[in-house]
Structure 1
Amino acid sequence: MFQRLAGLSLAVLMAGPGLAQQAADAVAPEAGTQGVTALSNPEIAAAYAARAAGQPVQAETWMVAAANPLAVSAGAEVLRNGGSAADAMIAVQVVLGLVEPQSSGLGGGAFLVWYDAASGELTTLDARETAPLAATPTLFQDETGEPLGFFDAVVGGRSVGTPGTPALLQEAHRRWGKARWPDLFQAGIALSEEGFAVSPRLAGLVESDAERLARRPQTAAYFLPDGSPVPAGAILRNPAYAATLRALATEGAAAFYSGAIAADIVRAVRDGQGNPGVLSETDLALYQVRERPPVCVSYRGHDVCGMGPPSSGALTVGQILGMLESYDLAALGPGSADAWRLIGDASRLAFADRGRYMADSDFVPMPTKGLLEQAYLAQRASLLAGDDALPEVAPGSPKWDHAQLLADDVSIELPSTSHISIVDGQGNVLSMTTTIENGFGSRLMVHGFLLNNELTDFSFRTHSDGVPIANRLEPGKRPRSSMSPTIVLKDGAPVLALGSSGGSRIIGHVAQSIIAWLDWGMNIQEAIALPHAINRFGTYDVEEGTEAEALKAPLEALGYEVSVRQLNSGLHAIAIADGLHGAADPRREGIALGK
């Protein structure tokens, strides 16, 4: 019981122009291009049919799952031609930045988790945006020291951090690429120049954000032609983005971090039309991708691994699962309110620790080991032993390598973002979550792409009752994130790659999907289509229009305040066992394709 009909959004998706034909036609090669050929319509249609039936797409050799058919098609073509998962990711990201610009792109950042089949090693790369060197801790406060309203801070240059995505594309290719770098941009260039059909999702989001998009002339000209939101099915061309991609294909990431593109990014940020920022060409020139130690936790005989600070994802997912390890969720089942009590209160406890301790560990000492220590998680898990909702939660006291006093964070993190999962023909596995933060980011458009508003992921306050907040803004610092790209291993070998969009709810989406897959025995498509029930700060959010609504009364009887609302995740996953099993979130437009 308690499974969402995975085809609920299928009719909406197919109501627009034929995405199967679009995905095939739009990546047809221009004369003289290499590595970009049309995909057949039945392959795309089969991906939709499998999702509608609640079954994963199955393949033997390679697979890619992401949030838009055109992007998946571009990545699939790279894998078909023998490229690596890193190569395919570049093609996917480049197209996502065009067809799903509200969620990710060159103007944003990402976290990447990589399993290397040859060495058996796990690598995590941090391409999170950085605060400009001229930024001050009070950047998001008014003249009285009070925090700005969220969108007062977001729209314009004030919220823009130094983008990391272009540097990550180049670094991933340097480490693991096999295909020619210029070839990986050809699908994006062709789609930008020839145009793509606006999806129903993009059209709806443009319409809902039209007032803010209209504040910037370049942004308005693209998304609101003739003063009206671009409609679903309209053919949208972006020659400026094509020119940017050609520069990257020719010159590498240096074309973005120096020269004309960098100068124009800085000019747009510092102008900001009443909300200027402080990003400089020096910030762009100094940007570096950082390799971080993976963060792993043991759960049901598996190692669940992901990105450490400045991401809070792997730590918080790991804490939730670590606290639940001693409870028999399988016996309770997905329809049990008591199962969701355990999951919800474990999440609340983990989020309490997240708010107190988690931030960029280059700037703030963190008890990373202590937060996942078995004895500490067992002590926190003992708080779940009752039979009703915890009346209140508080941060725990994990072991520190050295002492530190911190106050609870009050930062805001709203949903957006996109996730990519890929397995290539050599057995390499990639899980990457990518974002420009809020939908449409800062609403500043430069050279065909949107700039992020990642700085608003910092706490707008610097202290609470005189105690510093870990996630306060500081020059050069990377804001805390909830992005949770994850690879699950069994006996050292990868068995699952997944991640999601959804702001701070990403953590719950990923943890719930792992529980559904490991504890409740669902196939991976069923697991990510399972109706959401998320508790971060006390209120239990249950997904509107799904069987999760049946939990409202039982959860209220346990003492929770319950809110029925839309919970629009963007889970994309690949399970690896007896072949490859790909899954795409039915709440979004994505698909999985493989061979």
Structure 2
Amino acid sequence: MHKYVALPLLSLLVACSGSDPATDTPAMQSRAEREASRHMISAPHPLAAEAGREILRQGGSAADAAIAAKLVLGLVEAPETGIGGGGFILLHDANRGQSRFYDGRETAPRAATADRFRWPGLNKPFILAMTSGDAVGVPGMLALMAKVHAEHGQLAWASLFVPAIELAEQGIPMPSRLQRQIKHDWSLRLFADTRQYFRRQAAGEPPRLHNPKLAATLRQLAEEGPDSFYHGAIGEQFVQRVQDARWGSGDMQLSDLHDYAAFERPPVCATYRQWTLCGPPPPSSGGLTVLQILGILEHFPMDELSADDPQSWHLIAEASRLAFADRDYYIGDPDFVQVPLAELLERDYLARRAHLIDPRQAMAEPLPGVAGSAAEHPDAELPVPEPEYGTSHLSVVDSAGNLVAFTGSNEAPFGSRMLSQGFVLNSQLTDFNFNPRLGDREHPNAVAGGKRPRSSMSPFIVYDADDKPIMVIGSRGGSRIIGYVVKSLVASLDWEMELAEALAMPNMVERRQGIELEADTWLADHAEALRSMGHRVRLKSMTSGVHAIQRIDGGWRGAADPRLDGVVLGD
């Protein structure tokens, strides 16, 4: 092992090995532990955070640290993220003084057609679609990492793989959250790959996570670069696994891997009060939807309300319903459909949408608006919302002032339930709408060959009135990500909560499916008040994973969502 990662990681392994795996979630860090003057990483597992910090200590950039940490997460959060999936990176480039966005979303094979997840007259059951080869998209994670490293990296590509390789080879105590995921997911018993890897290791005494196949794959990628995946033997085995899927073979070809590219897109930015926020453009819906929610809330005195007032949550819920109606009606891959981003973010348009909200009564089922024009589209037909899952997020800042928000996903936890060469195959194509029609038009998120499915990943960077970056933030959680990020931003910016308090605050989500309040929290006590306003309210367990870093005098303060095993580390 390279000396710059060996001692810190091994010390963490020793510390973890003596802990109770059922209760080893890190304690809330002290304020001093969450502050740093030079660089910082907030990640959902201590080993990932430690790998990132050691890269920063060696003079690596925020991009370098994010890549190294994400590779470790591909081991310890294998159900959520890894090289068999894809992701987005939003980066503040200190030299240019601007945000830059990189798209590593998976694509559908060229052979994919609009009826991919349909039987005659009806949608396929989700579980059957998710576990078939048809669910697997061409992975974008490695191409994304390679592109960002080529443009923003400081250390050698191979050095970024060292922590993940060594941990996978040596093995680690199985993370408590992974143990819980395995225990509570009955479907893992049905699939040979997940049964033989995840369930077998969880049944050990003590449970241990050991993945020599992944270590060998990562070593080859470190030595040969991403071409060994997209044009080499790793990709050949990957495609063969998709084509041999027991629960429904896929139509992916080697040419689909050869043709894949990650590329840069302009981020989507808008103001919220005195701040400017930049986030991901389509094919993610996260940037537009978060900005629409905030743009609607700007017409209400959120800073005069509080988290203790049910009206605050009513307003957030109503703004979310309006934004999700636009999201579901308009957003798809911009290389295939025209998404009227500018019109949907026009201040006058959002003001008209805000005027539909009664501050004390829930509206009837909201319609999408006519982008940039009318508050409502009277003839619009909206699809029934479909499930989205999974995902993992980390945030980094380096000593040069570069910030990175990196969100990656396999879609469903454990992806398609298939593994190849030690890593999980994604199920991202189920993020397409199964029904390709929306009224008398094609759904903007219908399946098509080479198309990228709509996502809800929401990495964001916040700028102050002087265009100085003051926060980097994002979350895990499928389509709930949007609500998790909005809650954290409102709590931090409007209610001026300390960052750790904002992230720990109970979650509320409205995705055109009724209000979901985080069960067993004080926010659940507002359920009856919200029902009296006309809302449908359910209490749900919601495992957000918001990881954020905020500028303070003299440096940075970070926070990790206490619902996961994450920590903040910096110097």
Amino acid at match of 1:201: R
CA–CA separation in structure 1 for the residues paired with 2:205 and 2:268:
41
CA deviation after TM superposition for structure 1 residue 221, in Å: 1.6
Q: Which residue of 2 aligns with 1:20?
A: none
Contact kept in structure 2, 1:244 and 1:447, CA below 8 Å: yes
1:220 to 195, 199, 222: 195
Are 1:448 and 2:417 an aligned pair? no
Give distance in 2, aligned partners of 1:239 and 1:368: 45
**Residue identity matched to 2:8:** L
The reply on whether 1:346 has 2:315 as its aligned counterpart is no
Q: Distance in 2 between matches of 1:450 and 1:210?
A: 17
Kindly indicate whether residue 289 of structure 2 is the aligned counterpart of residue 316 of structure 1. Answer: yes
Q: Contact 1:357/1:470 (CA < 8 Å) preserved in 2?
A: yes
Choose which of 531, 536, 555 in structure 2 pairs with 1:556.
Answer: 531
Post-superposition Cα deviations, 1:72-128, rounded to whole Å, max 9, x if no partner, equal 111111001110011101111110001110000000010110001122021000100
TM superposition shift of 1:53: 5.9
The residue matched to 2:41 in structure 1 has which SS?
Answer: strand
Contact 2:514–2:538 (Cα < 8 Å) also in 1: yes
2:458 pairs with 478, 484, 487, which one? Answer: 484
AA in 1 matched with 2:349: Y
Aligned to 1:27: none
1:573 pairs with 2:548: yes
Q: Determine if contact 1:240/1:448 at 8 Å carries over to the other structure.
A: yes
**What's the counterpart of residue 525 of structure 1?**
500
Measured against aligned partners, the alpha-carbon deviations of 1:513-566 in whole angstroms (never above 9, x if no partner) come to 000001111011011111111112151111111111111111011111110111
Name the SS for the 1:420 alignment partner: strand
Structure 2 matches for 1:138-537, cutoff 5 A?
138-142=115-119, 144-211=120-187, 213-225=188-200, 229-230=202-203, 233-399=206-372, 408-410=382-384, 412-490=386-464, 491-537=466-512
Aligned counterparts of 1:372 and 1:132: Cα–Cα separation in 2: 32
Match of 1:36 in 2: 5
Length-normalised TM-score, structure 1: 0.90
Contact 2:26 2:565 in 1 (8 A): no
- Give the residue type in structure 2 aligned to 1:489: Y
Native 8 Å contact 2:128 2:247 kept in 1: no
Instruction: State the shift of 1:466 in Å.
Output: 3.2
Q: Contact 2:29–2:567 at 8 Å: present in 1 too?
A: no
CA deviation map 1:176-229 (0-9, x unaligned): 000111111111111011001101110111122243x3344333221122xx84
Q: C-alpha distance in 2, partners of 1:219/1:431?
A: 30
440-449 or 292-301, larger mean C-alpha shift? 292-301
Matched to 1:392, the amino acid is E
Q: Which string of whole-angstrom CA distances, capped at 9 and with x for unpartnered residues, describes residues 325-351 of structure 1?
A: 121112111111111111100000000
3-state SS, counterpart of residue 42 of structure 2 = strand
Deviation at 1:245, TM superposition (A): 0.6
Aligned partner of residue 8 in structure 2, secondary structure: coil
Q: One-letter code of the match for 1:190?
A: E
Residues of 2 paired with 1:587 and 1:288: CA distance? 34
Contact 1:56 1:525 in 2 (8 A): no
Distance in 1 (alpha carbons) for counterparts of 2:405 and 2:544: 16
- How far the C-alpha of 1:467 sits from its partner, in A, is 2.2
Gaps of at least 5 residues in structure 2 are 17-23
Q: How many residues get paired?
A: 556
Give 1:52 deviation, angstroms: 5.5
Deviation readout 1:11-38 (Å, 9 max, x if unpaired): xxxxxxxxxxxxxxxxxxx3xx253232
Alpha-carbon distance between aligned partners in 2 of 1:538 and 1:415, rounded to the nearest angstrom: 15
- Who is 1:13 aligned against? none
Distance 2:25 2:192 in 1: 37
- Say if 1:55 and 1:525, in contact at 8 Å, map to a contact too: no
Report SS of the residue matched to 1:125. Answer: strand
Q: Which residue is equivalent to 1:90? A: 67
Distance in 2, matches of 1:306 and 1:175, equals 19
- Which amino acid in the other structure matches residue 220 of structure 1? R
Closer, same or farther: CA 337–406 of 1 in aligned 2, 3 Å: closer
User: How far is the alpha carbon of 1:279 from its aligned partner?
Assistant: 1.1
SS in 2 for 1:305: strand
Summarize deviations over 1:237-258 as a string: whole Å, max 9, x none.
1111011111111011011112
The TM-score, its normalising length taken from structure 2, stands at: 0.94
User: 1-side partners of 2:380 and 2:135: how far apart?
Assistant: 24
Could you say if the C-alpha distance between residues 406 and 164 of structure 1 is closer, same or farther in structure 2, counting changes exceeding 3 Å?
farther
Instruction: Kindly provide the CA deviation profile for residues 23-62 of structure 1, in whole angstroms up to 9, marking residues without a partner as x.
Output: xxxxxxx3xx2532322969999x9877266887111100
Q: Tell me how far apart the structure 2 counterparts of residues 499 and 86 of structure 1 sit (CA, whole Å).
A: 16
Tell me if 1:58 matches 2:35.
yes
Provide the rounded CA distance (Å) in 1 between the counterparts of 2:413 and 2:12: 32
SS at match of 1:433: strand
Change (3 A) 1:49 1:152: closer
- What is the aligned partner in structure 1 of residue 85 from structure 2? 108
Change (3 A) 1:293 1:477: same
Secondary structure, counterpart of 1:495 in structure 2:
strand
Partner of 1:12: none
Provide the rounded CA distance (Å) in 2 between the counterparts of 1:161 and 1:362: 17
Conserved 8 A contact 1:36-1:77:
yes
Say whether the 8 Å CA contact 2:26–2:567 is kept in structure 1. no
Q: Which amino acid aligns with 2:61?
A: S
Matching residue's letter, 1:136: T
Give the conservation status (yes or no) of the 8 Å contact 1:138–1:145. no
- Structure 1: which 5+ runs fail to align? 1-29
**Does the Cα contact within 8 Å between 1:306 and 1:314 map onto a contact in 2?**
yes
Q: Secondary structure at the match of 1:498?
A: strand
Mapped to 2, the partners of 1:460 and 1:163 lie a distance apart of: 20
Q: Cα distance 1:138–1:330, how it changes in 2: closer, same or farther (>3 A)?
A: same
